[in-house]
Structure 1
């Protein structure tokens, strides 16, 4: 039976990582628009491989590692400043840099509705993953649960972008969420035990797509 504490944690995660939370994540595709344009992710099978790679070997996995470090740094301002600086430095393109800082700034501002002294340590423009980790830790949200919800939110945004590109329909999008459920759970469990030594990416194609998007002539998204 769920306790009031666990139910409250679930509600807060649902609020913070809901599409309705005012962070502007809908404006970014993380390079997916470029990949679709170039024919690298223009069918359900290719999209699944794209998202699975991001979750297990790409930028989303790194974001999870940084979130976990932020979660653990909630009471250590110096350690928190270091991981925030690292998260910003790891943004591999101008658009990726804009995305992680702009969404992080909006998330921290909106999360102020749940006051906590730790928010003051985030600064005015924290990286998104670090901000989520700090806010979750400050509100006693379990790390693994936070990571699972965070990964699901990233995937949901990616699926939403793919639907808007016309690559898949809504039913196919829901099917992708279902197919990658186990991947999310495994990634969350592994990342909860990670350290900064586990940072690394093998998703070169996604990184190049993010860079190529900067000069794409016609586009719907900011990244």
Structure 2
């Protein structure tokens, strides 16, 4: 006879929600973006596995200090039922996207996530924010939408932050296998190393507010500006 299940089971439903909405194949369009890698490769900033690892680590670090902060604020606002607080987080993200392509990415992915959540989860605070955004000049942004969605699903802000950081890294690494000479084992090794930094990144930004959101990455800003004018592009940023 099979053994009896343990008296206290882990929350499997929470785990599968994290897996579903944190899946790199979830239909928000992340595959269409490279996180700046395409132009970095074209201009010789990233040429091999070692430089790719440094690039991904840098992108993830910068994302934590900007989008990651807004995600946490959005999650906390959703837990409090504060629609205005969610809107302020969206505005903070949108205003800090210096390049046209970075704004396009966060708005497009935010809209896709909100639309998908409305279809899957139903009416929610995220759906209300999405309808509100259609009437004002502050669009839904991806990190805030992700934080709000995880709050709605009853998942912690730590889970939301982890999924966000994982998604940033997998976006760049997914593009890498199409841009430079690396294989899937290389990218998984890099992903494993970047994942190991997520807890420290969370501790670094957990107490940071919207006014202190910052992302100082001038090389990435220059790459984004150059990519807008590129004649041949595989990715949207």
Q: Same-fold call, TM > 0.5?
A: yes
1:165 alignment partner in structure 2: 179
Deviation, 1:2, is: 5.1
Structure 2's unaligned 5+ residue stretches are: 1-7, 132-138
Structure 2 CA distance for aligned equivalents of residues 187 and 98 of structure 1: 25
2:121 alignment partner in structure 1: 114
1:100 and 2:130 matched: no
User: CA 1:2/1:168 → structure 2, altered by over 3 Å: closer, same or farther?
Assistant: farther
Moved more, 173-182 or 120-129: 120-129
1:134 alignment partner in structure 2: 148
CA contact (8 A) 1:22 1:106 kept: yes
Write out aligned runs for 1:38-49 (5 A). Answer: 38-49=43-54
Listed one character per residue, the Cα deviations across residues 85-123 of structure 1 (whole Å, up to 9, x for unaligned) are: 121111111111111001110011111211242123322
1:21 and 2:26 matched: yes
Write out aligned runs for 1:184-199 (5 A). Answer: 184-199=198-213
Structure 1 CA distance for aligned equivalents of residues 228 and 168 of structure 2: 21
Q: Secondary structure at the match of 2:216?
A: coil
CA contact (8 A) 2:38 2:235 kept: yes
Structure 2 CA distance for aligned equivalents of residues 82 and 61 of structure 1: 17
Structure 1 CA distance for aligned equivalents of residues 117 and 26 of structure 2: 9
Listed one character per residue, the Cα deviations across residues 129-170 of structure 1 (whole Å, up to 9, x for unaligned) are: 010011111111111121112111210111110111133111
2:136 alignment partner in structure 1: none
Name the Cα RMSD after superposition: 1.7
Aligned residues: 220
Deviation, 1:61, is: 3.2
2:37 alignment partner in structure 1: 32
Structure 1's unaligned 5+ residue stretches are: none
Structure 1 CA distance for aligned equivalents of residues 147 and 232 of structure 2: 35
Listed one character per residue, the Cα deviations across residues 23-48 of structure 1 (whole Å, up to 9, x for unaligned) are: 11100112210011001012111111
Counterpart selection for 1:72 from 76, 88, 91: 76
Structure 2 CA distance for aligned equivalents of residues 2 and 41 of structure 1: 46
Structure index of larger Rg = 2
CA contact (8 A) 1:66 1:87 kept: yes
CA contact (8 A) 1:68 1:143 kept: yes
1:84 alignment partner in structure 2: 90
1:215 alignment partner in structure 2: 229
TM-score (norm 2): 0.87
CA contact (8 A) 1:27 1:221 kept: yes
Structure 1 CA distance for aligned equivalents of residues 63 and 193 of structure 2: 20
